[in-house]
Amino acid sequence: MQLEIKHATVRYSNSDKILDNIDLNITEGQFLGITGKAGCGKTTLLETIAGFHKPESGFVLLDGQNIYEKRFVSQSFRKRLQIVFQFPENQFFESDIWNEIGFGLKNISSSPEEKERKTIEAMLAVGLDINEMKNVSPFALSGGQKRRLALACAIVVSPEILLLDEPFSGLDGDGQNQIISILKDLHRNGTTILMVSHDPNVLSEVADKIVVLDAGKIQFNDIPSRVFADKYLCDKLGIGQPETKITADLIGLDLDEDLTYSNFIKKLEKKYLAAHD
Amino acid sequence: MINVSNISFTYNNNKKIIENISLSIEPGKVTAILGKNGSGKSTLVRLILALLPISDGKIYIDDIDINCKEGINQIRKQCGIVFQNPDNHFVSPIIEDDIKFGLTNHHVPETIQSDCVKSALDKVSLTGYEKRNVSTLSGGQKQKAAAAGILAVDNSIIFFDEATSMLDPNGRKELQLCIEDLRNQNKTIVIISQNIEDVLHADKILLISDHQIIKSGSARDILTDYETLKGAGIQIPFPVQVYHDLFQKGIKMKNCPLTSGELAEELCSLK
Ligand SMILES: Nc1ncnc2c1ncn2[C@@H]1O[C@H](COP(=O)(O)OP(=O)(O)O)[C@@H](O)[C@H]1O
Ligand SMILES: Nc1ncnc2c1ncn2[C@@H]1O[C@H](COP(=O)(O)OP(=O)(O)O)[C@@H](O)[C@H]1O
Ligand SMILES: [Mg+2]
Ligand SMILES: [Mg+2]
């Protein structure tokens, strides 16, 4: 799998350029974070990659093929690439959760037993209780439950590429941890993931690389420790810094380019237990 | 002052959502409600705003039962809310018209309405967005516009129901400053959020779990109570998590820190 964005410029009917001549290469199995101020174009970028905004110039290429070309087969594209929108309620239309999740499997030739098994697996994975929830209407869910359902609908078809637009916004602590661990699993199993988020903690926890958008351009496409290195620049770009980094800087701890929580604790342990010996 | 006394609620499917909850929302204070997704926070707010009928119990605003015309009038007059989903918020597609609609409802003279709109948009960094159609805004910008609509009018009690979930770190700080301002003007604020930073400065936190309020207290009391937060499925504040995990490894800080500044101090005094 090779996903490329080449010289893409995108604008809405009479807006300024939202994406201005952007180049981006996404390699197979990558976990790419996308961040930047509210309104900088994160959703636009994700939806452009998902086939919803044809660039006025430039291309989006999947394995060398322009996804906006007429010959491009959209059915197989949908199976390969799934997007979870920022407002999940806008994507639901079935009368209950069971059918909402099952819908994506309709066009995939699998037996009824397999469909059932996959639907159950997807509900379990996102923490929707099967007996309690399967007959509930998607529209009677609370905000956080809707996010879980939207994710279940995407992962049930086992896409190669998963696009997530602020999947954690409004999720409680348990829900966040649950979804982080699902995403880590998918990543480990080779799924390519592009995730928009405003949370520097989550981004530095899961992303291999982070793209920072500002004023229509990619300002950064780098590993988390380099993106979040400079406090002043992070404030200016409106992306904040992860708490591991903030704390490490305050106490003069070297995190060796690894801003994850487990590394932070490991370094503290080493520092303070060593001091005791 | 809002007093909620022994209320219960079920939607028509008979599943208990709220069971015998009592609480008071004190004037001039910031009260936060914490609880996992689906625990009934938005339902509770809808009950207080008389948008849903209570199954059992009473709610009073300034000692007036909200279950009568005068009570409803008081609620409508005093309370404003920023909803969880900004799309539920707008009554007009153009930002300026939407905010002016609220101003007119609050009897703000037309001659000064444009200034009010401008100053509200300035507060959330949407300067110059007056004529924009809300359908062309990004998610975070919608949340900002929804907040601006509430900041523009002079409500005495304001509810923010997960109104910051799509804001970037700067936008979040901006709104926190606005809330601080409102508190200084002696407004009553209720915040629901999954983001710890949003509730760190609350005067009081109510923790909901299993249809009930299981604990209430100062932000420090609630947010440093690792076991209770964990049990309720709430995000553990970073410094509290660090305190807990180091403790498990035999590294003991004197006090449980709540901010990164406090965490750094505790760590430095470990030696
Ligand atoms: N339909 C539209 N018409 C005009 N402008 C739009 C439209 N949708 C979004 N925009 C603008 O494009 C910019 C990028 O939006 P978006 O990609 O949603 O930002 P975000 O980074 O917050 O996801 C914003 O400034 C927004 O106001
Ligand atoms: N209109 C409705 N009809 C039936 N059940 C609902 C409705 N709205 C919410 N619920 C259910 O009530 C519970 C509480 O929802 P809500 O108050 O929105 O939770 P919170 O705001 O704490 O996330 C959830 O289980 C939700 O599924
Ligand atoms: Mg967006
Ligand atoms: Mg809610």
CA A62 to ligand 3 centroid distance, Å: 23
Q: Which residues of A touch B140 (CB under 8 A)?
A: 37-39, 198
> Which of A12, A143, A173 minimises the CB distance to B84?
A143
Q: Helix crossing, B260-268 with A243-251: angle to 10°? A: 40
Q: Which residues of A touch B234 (CB under 8 A)?
A: 172-174
Q: Which ligand lies nearest to the CA atom of residue A35 in the structure?
A: 1
Return the higher-pLDDT residue of A105 and A221. A221
AA identity, residue A236: K
Residue A141 pLDDT class (50, 70, 90 cuts): confident
Residue A276 pLDDT class (50, 70, 90 cuts): low
Tally of CB atoms within 10 A around A92: 18
Phi, psi of B265 (to 5 degrees): -60, -45
Output the average pLDDT for chain A.
93
Look at ligand 2, atom 3, and give the residue with the nearest C-alpha: A140
Considering all CA atoms of chain B, what is the largest pairwise distance in Å, rounded to the nearest integer? 66
Torsion on CA atoms A126, A128, A134, A136, rounded to nearest 10 = -110
List alpha helices for chain B, DSSP H.
41-48, 69-78, 95-105, 110-123, 139-152, 169-184, 196-199, 219-223, 226-232, 238-248, 260-268
CA A167 to ligand 4 centroid distance, Å: 16
What does the pLDDT read at residue B55?
Answer: 84
Sheet with B64-65: list strands edge to edge. B16-25, B2-10, B56-61, B64-65
What does the pLDDT read at residue A14?
Answer: 83
In whole angstroms, how far apart are CA B70 and each of B27, B60, B74, B156, B188?
Answer: 20, 11, 6, 17, 20
* CB atoms B234 and A172 under 8 Å: yes
What does the pLDDT read at residue A192?
Answer: 98
What does the pLDDT read at residue B152?
Answer: 95
Residue A277 has pLDDT above 70, yes or no: no
A39 lines ligand 1 (CB under 6 A): yes
Return the higher-pLDDT residue of A181 and A277. A181
Q: What is the mean pLDDT of residues B125-154?
A: 95
Phi, psi of A155 (to 5 degrees): -80, -15
In whole angstroms, how far apart are CA A54 and each of A45, A66, A194, B203?
Answer: 11, 10, 19, 49
What does the pLDDT read at residue A144?
Answer: 79
Q: What is the mean pLDDT of residues A236-264?
A: 97
Residue B110 pLDDT class (50, 70, 90 cuts): very high
What does the pLDDT read at residue A109?
Answer: 64
Residues A55-113: tens digit of each pLDDT: 999 999 999 999 999 888 777 888 899 999 988 888 899 999 999 999 888 877 678 89
Residue A225 has pLDDT above 90, yes or no: yes
Q: What is the mean pLDDT of residues B209-235?
A: 96
Three-point CA angle A12, A16, A17, nearest 5°: 80
Residues B31-74: tens digit of each pLDDT: 999 999 889 999 999 999 999 998 899 999 999 999 999 999 99
Q: Which ligand lies nearest to the CA atom of residue A17 in the structure?
A: 1
C-beta of residue B212 within 8 angstroms of C-beta of residue B231:
no
The pair of three-digit structure tokens given for residue B253, joined into one six-digit string: 């800080």
Which candidate, B71, B70, B89, B61, places its Cα nearest to that of B5?
B61
C-beta of residue A126 within 8 angstroms of C-beta of residue A151:
yes
B81-96 exposure pattern, b = at least 16 Cβ within 10 A, e = fewer: bbbbbbeebbeeeebb
- CA–CA separation, B188 and B255 (whole Å): 31
* CB atoms A38 and B167 under 8 Å: yes
Q: What is the mean pLDDT of residues A244-267?
A: 97
Which candidate, B116, B191, B98, B107, places its Cα nearest to that of B152?
B116
What does the pLDDT read at residue A73?
Answer: 75
What does the pLDDT read at residue A275?
Answer: 61
AA identity, residue B212: Q
Residue B231 pLDDT class (50, 70, 90 cuts): very high
Task: Quote the ipTM score.
Answer: 0.91
Look at ligand 1, atom 20, and give the residue with the nearest C-alpha: A39
Q: What is the mean pLDDT of residues B171-183?
A: 94
**Range name among A95-99, A104-108, A116-120, A252-256 with the lowest pLDDT average:** A104-108
Distant-in-sequence contacts of B209-212, Cβ < 8 A, 24+ apart: B209/B35, B209/B36, B209/B39, B209/B233, B211/B16, B211/B17, B211/B18, B211/B19, B211/B21, B211/B39, B211/B40, B212/B19, B212/B20, B212/B21
